[in-house]
């Protein structure tokens, strides 16, 4: 374009040219089979695998039964629990894809002097999780109980319906960026430590694993899965609450992170390998 100022001016002009088409867009009724749900957990604690993650798994199953899609990611956080996914694989090929990605991760971490069976997150440890293996058992609960249809690479377009896996790191912003690139149009994010993640292109709802964090952060936590721990609700009841909220948010109700305007800075593509 011939310099910074001219480049910015051309970019602004291109956006302005798009606005009439954007303004002509109208809402219309659609089935929830159009939803592709990104399953995420971050700032996890010892309750994640007992309350919020199983409840999200229930919501995931229900969405899929209505024709939708649910996408698990964060490959290092299924390490040690991969047998729970491979036994649900629709085909031997799908199971083998997951195993091959885990082997790649073992090689990747070894090259960088890391270990797959350690827990790199101080927050997870403070939340009561001792190893990544322990976290993995709870993380897989987000995926529900239905068959695993396929395994996709990071950001690869998701072509099938049902429950699928997308390879990504455990770092939430990078992982969700990949899920959105793959086609996720809504995100459910469980947290026990109080993550406030938000994403502008794809609404994100927060599910607190315990009542304490839900009450401490009422402007950030959309759902209180701590009600399960308190004995006030069942896993299925909280799962239905999550599903209802996903539908309402997809229908235009702002999630709490949207209401606070969060999400401008959460576009974080995964950089693999050395940066020269």
Structural domains counted in the chain = 1
Domain that holds residue 222: 31-259
Q: Specify if 64 maps to a domain.
A: yes
Ranges of the chain whose pLDDT falls below 50: none
Please check whether residue 264 lies inside any domain of the structure.
no
Q: Which residues are CB-neighbours of 73 under 8 A, at least 6 positions away?
A: 38, 39, 40, 165, 166, 167, 168, 175, 176, 178, 179
Pick from 254, 185, 159, 215: which is nearest to 35 by CA? 185
Write out pLDDT tens, residues 117-171.
Answer: 876 677 778 888 887 788 899 999 999 999 999 999 999 999 999 999 999 999 9
Q: Looking at the domain assignment, is residue 216 inside a domain?
A: yes
CA gap 175, 181 in Å, rounded: 10
Domain presence at residue 194: yes
The answer to whether residue 24 is domain-embedded is no
Residue 18 included in any domain: no
274 is a domain residue: no
10, part of any domain: no
Q: Which residues pair with 206 in a beta bridge?
A: 189
Number of Cβ atoms within 10 Å of the Cβ of 97: 20
d(CA 186, CA 247): 10
- Residues 73, 40 contacting (CB under 8 angstroms): yes
pTM metric for this prediction: 0.92
Please state the φ and ψ torsions of residue 84, each to the nearest 5 degrees.
-70, -25
């Amino acid at each position: 374009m011939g310099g910074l100022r001219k480049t910015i001016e051309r970019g602004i002009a291109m956006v302005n040219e798009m606005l009439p088409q954007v303004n002509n867009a109208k809402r219309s009724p659609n089935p929830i089979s159009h939803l592709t749900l990104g399953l995420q957990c971050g700032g996890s604690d010892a309750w994640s695998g007992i309350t919020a993650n199983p409840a999200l798994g229930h919501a995931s199953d229900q969405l899929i039964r209505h024709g939708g899609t649910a996408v698990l990611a964060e490959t290092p956080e299924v390490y040690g629990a991969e047998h729970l996914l491979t036994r649900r694989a629709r085909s031997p090929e799908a199971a083998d894809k997951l195993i091959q990605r885990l082997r790649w991760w073992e090689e990747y971490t070894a090259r960088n002097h890391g270990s797959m069976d350690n827990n790199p997150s101080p927050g997870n440890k403070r939340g009561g999780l001792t190893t990544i293996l322990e976290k993995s058992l709870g993380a897989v609960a987000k995926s529900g109980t239905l068959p695993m249809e396929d395994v996709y690479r990071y950001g690869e377009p998701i072509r099938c319906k049902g429950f699928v896996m997308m390879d990504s790191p455990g770092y939430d912003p990078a992982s969700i960026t990949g899920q959105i690139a793959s086609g996720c149009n809504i995100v459910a994010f469980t947290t026990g430590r109080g993550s406030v993640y938000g994403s502008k292109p794809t609404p994100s709802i927060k599910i607190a694993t315990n009542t304490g964090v839900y009450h401490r952060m009422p402007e950030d936590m959309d759902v209180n899965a701590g009600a399960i721990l308190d004995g006030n609700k069942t896993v299925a009841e909280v799962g239905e609450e999550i599903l209802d909220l996903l539908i309402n948010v997809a229908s235009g109700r702002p999630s709490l992170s949207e209401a606070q305007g969060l999400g401008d800075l959460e576009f974080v593509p995964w950089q693999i390998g050395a940066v020269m």
